[in-house]
Structure 1
């Protein structure tokens, strides 16, 4: 089971969480997010095991590619209306692509016809994009039959791990707000509990 800590911003906190060697660490380039890192943010050195993920919503491909070089991430997470053309361009540039899908009902699992490297299923809540701190009904994922592995997000904490491990096709757990002391600042004790449980 892989795991990701998302919404990182504080350099000292990044270093402390990175020492727990999550498989992925997410950095949000969405200006309206309380976890926005800012245009000039550069990701500090991470353990070899930990891949840096840049998180975007309807950002231009050119800007994503420029930021990937400047900020230093190898994986892109798309939370907007991005289609296959954007995914193809990013993959052609050597980036791995995670396409996020907001889920509330069975209908949200229909018509998944894109080819990212991974899907990510998160909780749908109005027009909010991620960061809800709430879980959706995981039984909906029984309808997922594609060979593309997926990340699970939405209100995950250490208590979620055992149940989540039973989900077929699950590749990684994505932790964010439930581990926080404040937006962008993770509680290291909780991160260490996740590391031990996984």
Structure 2
């Protein structure tokens, strides 16, 4: 199972987390977030896909960050429309000569979710990411009811996110054995593995990665 560690912020911590070889490292570009990233990303293994996380950003801003940081995945965490996603893909294409950059669209879930919303994004984005609906754009620290995903109608891969920590390990393993996990692409973790916003606990993450990789 692929693992994404999101909300990276501090250089030494980025290097330490990269040493455990997660599949994705996420960097948030949203000024209202306590994990908003600025500065340089230290050298990390090329096998780790650097992921830029954006909230209703301009396409020019995203393209600028792709060129600057060599992102291999773009996560859209706002109210981006299918038309916006198409325009972004057309702008990415000339700089993505090896067709490696993944495009993800986030949808936040609380008690219910209207899966018909996904239909207009089909064939445009590479993955959906399901997060917990809360007052913040991610990093709220609690899970939504994963049973809602029993009604998932799509074959587009999805990423499970929202309040996942070591305490949720058993629940994650149970979910991975369930029929609704058929199209899961990765597990996304953030605030439950932090000392402070943006600084991750490497030993806890090592434990979690080992368990979900078995």
Shorter-chain TM-score bucket reads over 0.9
Which moves more between the two structures, 70-79 or 83-92? 83-92
Residue 48 (structure 1) shift: 2.2
Cα distance in 2 for residues equivalent to 1:186 and 1:4? 12
Counterpart position of 2:173:
162
User: Gaps (5+ residues) in structure 2?
Assistant: none
Q: What are the within-5 Å matches in structure 2 for residues 40-189 of structure 1?
A: 41-92=39-90, 93=92, 94=96, 95-113=101-119, 114=121, 115-125=124-134, 127-158=135-166, 159=169, 160-166=171-177, 167-189=181-203
CA RMSD of aligned residues (A): 1.4
Kindly state the Cα deviation for residue 74 of structure 1 after the two structures are TM-superposed: 1.8
Measured against aligned partners, the alpha-carbon deviations of 1:34-84 in whole angstroms (never above 9, x if no partner) come to 00012xx23222212210000010000011001111122121100111112
Report how many residues are paired: 195
**Residue 204 of structure 2 is aligned to residue 190 of structure 1:** yes
Unaligned runs of 5+ in 1: none
How far apart in 2 are the matches of 1:177 and 1:128? 12
Q: Deviations over 1:146-193 (max 9, x none)?
A: 111011000112324312313231110001001001100001111111
Contact 1:156 1:176 in 2 (8 A): yes
* Aligned match of 1:30: 30
Q: Where is the helix percentage greater, Structure 1 or Structure 2?
A: 2
Please tell me whether the aligned partners of residues 115 and 153 of structure 2 are also in contact (alpha carbons under 8 angstroms): no
Per-residue deviation, 1:103: 0.5
TM-superposed CA distance for 1:135, in Å, is 0.4
Q: Give the distance between the partners of 2:158 and 2:35, measured in 1 at CA.
A: 23
Q: Which runs of structure 1 show a deviation greater than 6 angstroms over 4 or more consecutive aligned residues?
A: none
